[in-house]
Amino acid sequence: MSRFQDIFLDIESDILNQQYKPGELLPSENQLSKKYNVSRETIRKALSLLLESGYIQKKQGKGSIVLDVKRFDFPISGLTSYKELQDAQNMSSETILVENKKMTIPEHIADFLKVSHDTEVHCVIRARKVDGEVVILDKDYLFTSIIESIPDDEARHSLYHYIENKLGLVIGFARKEFIAEPATQEDRELMTLHNDTHVVVTRSEVHLEDATLFQYTESRHRLDRFRFVEFARRRGPVAYD
């Protein structure tokens, strides 16, 4: 392992153990080069790794600021609303309602879902702010043929709570896909991306209990703040002939 990788791991450990707290400055390049008895170029390589890994943010004229590296777990299987995850994991979070309107479904989504291009949907866009930074952009498209209206207050609070508890519908299952994609102009405008060039995108087709498709969701996540988890169990040894 290279010396700069050793230094990266050492500083990473200090950040995770709160020896360097969020918002604090790391020691200067000169101070770090003296501490580790290496060149400033070696320190720069270690700092670049920390930057790429989402542990620090460089500010012109200030140095390297430690970021809050808490990550929140999003289950791959199961259908859980953001509000339910927020409550379960004690997130400090705010939902900003960017848009809530009726519109014709975007053509690329209609093609993906194999529905008519003139299908009317509610378009609900919400920015999720965690610890002062927008780290999730949720874009929901819900068929107006099933859900006639969505009040703004309900959209801010929880769509699933509204659908299940106010409308009496039973949400059944979803098909999900996960992919890393280049950040769009909309991502850069609405999210706090720092130097990130990519986001993790979850796309879901959500069905009611009777298998009726009623929702398409695109959830765009900043890379450093979230992880997706799943419990997996091996089925057992495979018998071969």
pLDDT digits (tens, 9 = 90+) for 4-20: 999 999 998 888 888 89
Query: How many C-beta neighbours within 10 Å does residue 126 have?
Result: 21
What one-letter code names the amino acid at 156?
R
Total-model pTM? 0.65
114: pLDDT strictly greater than 90: yes
What separation in angstroms does the CA of 208 have from each of 127, 146, 147, 184? 25, 10, 12, 31
Averaged pLDDT for residues 142-161 = 95
pLDDT at 240: 56
Average pLDDT, the chain: 85
Question: Where do the domains of the chain lie, and which CATH numbers do they carry?
Answer: 3-66 (1.10.10.10), 72-229 (3.40.1410.10)
Confidence of residue 194 (pLDDT cuts 50, 70, 90): confident
pLDDT digits (tens, 9 = 90+) for 55-85: 888 877 788 888 766 655 555 555 555 555 5
pLDDT computed for residue 91 by the predictor: 58
d(CA 142, CA 169): 13
Residue 45 backbone dihedrals phi, psi, to 5 degrees: -65, -40
For the beta carbon of residue 47, count every other beta carbon within 10 angstroms.
23
CA angle 57–225–197, rounded 5-degree value: 60
- Residues 171-188: tens digit of each pLDDT: 988 888 889 999 999 999
pLDDT digits (tens, 9 = 90+) for 92-111: 678 999 999 999 999 999 99
d(CA 135, CA 93): 10
CA 168 to chain centre: 29
Q: Write down the pLDDT at residue 228.
A: 64
Angstrom distance (rounded) from CA 156 to CA 54? 28
